[in-house]
């Protein structure tokens, strides 16, 4: 736990952006051997958004960042740095974060990408928090932006039905912990990786292995098994690190990959589904963008209130997994 007077990263604003085109399960069933019933039963997904040709992760990310800055009541001149979670960058380099920076008209501070696939936003949050607490800046944009549609094999029904495009962003600002560690801010972040599982979920291309961008490949059943076990363990780790009980959690804001995984973790936490933010039915899996998109939705509809405790968790390719506890 971070004590009284310590610098803390406080959530100042949240925003999301989804490309307008909706693709339903029936749309996919019209061109693939799948069905709405199979997809809904196995995943809870009903539809996803797909970016138009030529629209890049930086376009989606810049929109989400603008919305988060507006929510925080800040202009781009306040931003000291950008940390972007993405696995679908505009180009191999420069970092897509600098494209977002340029689109926002910012010409100072730091900007870089974090590649931790579906755990990317938790990793980016941890990195931004560390940058703030070590004095690299006091206002940092943390963005998750993905155009998963560009790396899907649209003939592989086992993967292409699962993902969508979108972006979310938060503004973190330096604040100070109150007496006994009270007050708003990120309480802790918990990051894990085990590369021995790298081949369970990967993209079969890239400048090193093929010179092409490649396609998503996944052993879904194995990833599912790891997801429930590792997410259950990491949420316990986050609560224990702060001396908190499951009952203290107001909102679980999980990575949105599969409703069955989300329900299993909620059950482990003894949290009713009314206290879980779910967007997977409408967004599908937007990888690094799913948690900030869910936060943006819950903030916009008034569910998130000052003083509440938010538990975030994610798992993805790597395998990477992690959790973060945030007091609003
Ligand atoms: O962001 C983190 C990364 N990803 C995840 O968290 C995903 C984790 N895994 C999952 O969510 C689930 O494993 C899936 C939803 C991907 C798959 O569900 P499952 O219950 O594990 O199904 P399965 O892969 O064991 O496949 C069952 C059957 C197979 O047919 P047979 O071999 O039993 O005849 C598949 O070929 O379902 C078939 N199948 C499909 N059928 C209709 C696979 N995809 C489809 C499909 N439509 N889209």
Instruction: Report the relative pairing of strands 139-147 and 165-176 from DSSP bridges.
Output: antiparallel
Give the CATH number of the domain where residue 267 resides.
Answer: 3.40.47.10
169 and 216 in a single domain? The answer is no
208 and 310 in a single domain? The answer is yes
Distance 34 CA to ligand 1 centre (A): 11
CB of 29 closer than 6 A to ligand 1? no
Which of 143, 159, 179 finishes a domain?
179
What is the SS3 assignment for 118? helix
Distance 220 CA to ligand 1 centre (A): 6
Question: Is 285 marked active-site?
Answer: yes
73 and 167 in a single domain? The answer is yes
> Does any domain span residue 293?
yes
> Does any domain span residue 1?
no
Which listed residue (25, 148, 258, 285) is catalytic?
A: 285
**What's the number of domains the chain is made of?**
2
56 and 164 in a single domain? The answer is yes
Which listed residue (190, 215, 255, 283) is catalytic?
A: 255
Distance 97 CA to ligand 1 centre (A): 33
156 and 246 in a single domain? The answer is no
The neighbouring-strand residues paired with 10 are: 173
d(CA 153, CA 34): 14
170 and 286 in a single domain? The answer is no
Residue 2: its pLDDT value, please?
Answer: 61
Question: Is 148 marked active-site?
Answer: no
Per-residue pLDDT of the chain (328 residues; tens, 9 = 90+): 566 789 999 999 999 999 999 999 999 999 999 999 999 999 999 999 999 999 999 999 999 999 999 999 999 999 999 999 999 999 999 999 999 999 999 999 999 999 999 999 999 999 999 999 999 999 999 999 999 999 999 999 999 999 999 999 999 999 998 888 889 999 999 999 999 999 999 999 999 999 899 999 999 999 999 999 999 999 999 999 999 999 999 999 999 999 999 999 999 999 999 999 999 999 999 999 999 999 999 999 999 999 999 999 999 999 999 999 999 9
154 and 205 in a single domain? The answer is no
Domain range spanning residue 81? 7-179
Residue 247: its pLDDT value, please?
Answer: 96
Burial class (CB within 10 angstroms; exposed 0-12, middle 13-18, buried 19+) of 150 = middle
Which of 161, 179, 197 finishes a domain?
179
**pTM for the structure as a whole:** 0.97
């Amino acid at each position: 736990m971070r004590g009284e007077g310590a610098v803390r990263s406080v959530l100042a604003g949240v925003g999301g952006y989804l490309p307008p085109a909706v693709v339903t399960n029936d749309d996919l069933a019209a061109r693939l051997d799948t069905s709405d019933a199979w997809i809904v039963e196995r995943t809870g997904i009903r539809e996803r958004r797909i970016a138009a040709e030529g629209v890049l992760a930086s376009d989606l990310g810049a929109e989400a960042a603008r919305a988060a800055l507006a929510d925080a009541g800040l202009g781009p001149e306040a931003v000291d740095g950008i940390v972007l979670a993405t696995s679908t960058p505009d180009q191999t380099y420069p970092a897509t974060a600098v494209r977002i920076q340029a689109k926002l008209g910012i010409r100072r501070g730091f900007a870089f990408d974090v590649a931790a696939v579906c755990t990317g936003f938790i990793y980016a949050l941890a990195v931004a928090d560390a940058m703030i607490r070590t004095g690299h800046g006091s206002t940092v944009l943390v963005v998750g932006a993905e155009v998963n549609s560009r790396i899907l094999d649209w003939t592989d029904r086992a993967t292409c039905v699962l993902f969508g495009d979108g972006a979310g962003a938060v503004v973190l600002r330096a604040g100070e912990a109150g007496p006994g560690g009270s007050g708003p801010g990120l309480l802790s972040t918990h990051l894990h990786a085990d590369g021995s599982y790298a081949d369970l979920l990967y993209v079969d291309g890239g400048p090193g292995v093929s010179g092409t961008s490649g396609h998503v490949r996944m052993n879904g059943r194995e990833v599912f098994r790891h997801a429930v076990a590792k997410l259950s363990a990491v949420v316990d780790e986050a609560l224990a690190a702060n001396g908190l009980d499951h009952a203290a959690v107001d909102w679980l804001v999980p990575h949105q990959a599969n409703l069955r995984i989300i329900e299993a973790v909620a059950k482990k936490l003894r949290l009713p589904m009314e206290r879980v933010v779910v967007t997977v039915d409408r967004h599908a899996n937007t990888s690094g963008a799913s948690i900030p998109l869910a936060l943006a939705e819950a903030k916009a509809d008034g569910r998130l209130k000052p003083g509440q405790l938010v538990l975030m968790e994610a798992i993805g390719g790597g395998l990477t997994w992690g959790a973060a506890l945030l007091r609003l």
